[in-house]
Chains A and B, each alone.
Chain A
Amino acid sequence: QVQLVQSGAEVKKPGASVKVSCKASGYTFTDHYMHWVRQAPGQGLEWMGYTNPNSGGTYYAHKFQGRVTMTMDTSTTTAYMELSRLTSDDTAIYYCVRDLNVLMKIGDRPLYYFDYWGQGILVTVSS
């Protein structure tokens, strides 16, 4: 079965960076784009960006551009998200999320629907 298993909780100081991981199994890693979505405590969901598993190409939401880096390591079927210059507003649960679409040929695009989610990683930013 499809599983996305994320690394453990993190506590960071303002201005620091955090890098979280997401180990995928149960499907062909290169068949699906990977997105990241976050959820501040008691709040709604916010899409952050995605990575193409074949080209490594990325697209980030405007508010995170210049501060986020998303990668996928096909040799270990692990996705990573690094967020820098952290502030208290970045305190949230971060989810890796698989795109619904199965990539059948070069040029196929994601559907931007999210069918499998990791368990989430709580990142706390506090001085």
Chain B
Amino acid sequence: EIVLTQSPATLSLSPGERATLSCRTSQSVSTYLAWYQQRPGQAPRLLIYDASTRATGIPARFSGSGSGTDFTLTITSLEPEDFAVYYCQQRINWPPWTFGQGTKVE
């Protein structure tokens, strides 16, 4: 099973600042990686898939990069609604499709 390690666990920032979130995988997943946002009390929302493709309706301030084992989610200028927990998820080859443990942006 591929393990995804997200860092930092918590990121303390202010609105308007830039957020940089990291996800490392225990083996290469090529670019088969997604990012999700989960606001308190809500279901997760797909932000990015295939490492860098924004999902439908996702603002341009969200961007993803990386390949192999190292990935980054960048939020260029934090809006109040961006304070949430972010998860990465891999989908290479066989299941289970695993998630990271999350980064909380507060």
Interface residues of A (CB under 8 A from B): 44-47, 59, 61-63, 95, 100, 111-115, 117-120
Establish whether residues A45 and B87, one from each chain, have CB atoms under 8 Å apart when the complex forms.
Answer: yes
Establish whether residues A112 and B97, one from each chain, have CB atoms under 8 Å apart when the complex forms.
Answer: yes
Q: How many chain B residues touch A (Cβ–Cβ < 8 Å)?
A: 20
**Chain A residues with Cβ under 8 A from B83's Cβ?**
none
Establish whether residues B89 and A45, one from each chain, have CB atoms under 8 Å apart when the complex forms.
Answer: yes
Binds A, one of B44-52, B60-68, B71-79: B44-52
Interface residues of B (CB under 8 A from A): 34, 36, 43-46, 49, 55-56, 87, 89, 91, 95-102
Known contacts A100-B49, A113-B46, A115-B55; A59 and B95 CB within 8 A of each other:
yes
**Chain B residues with Cβ under 8 A from A45's Cβ?**
36, 44, 87, 89, 99
Establish whether residues A47 and B98, one from each chain, have CB atoms under 8 Å apart when the complex forms.
Answer: yes
Establish whether residues B49 and A111, one from each chain, have CB atoms under 8 Å apart when the complex forms.
Answer: yes
Establish whether residues A61 and B95, one from each chain, have CB atoms under 8 Å apart when the complex forms.
Answer: yes
Establish whether residues A113 and B43, one from each chain, have CB atoms under 8 Å apart when the complex forms.
Answer: no
Establish whether residues B96 and A44, one from each chain, have CB atoms under 8 Å apart when the complex forms.
Answer: no
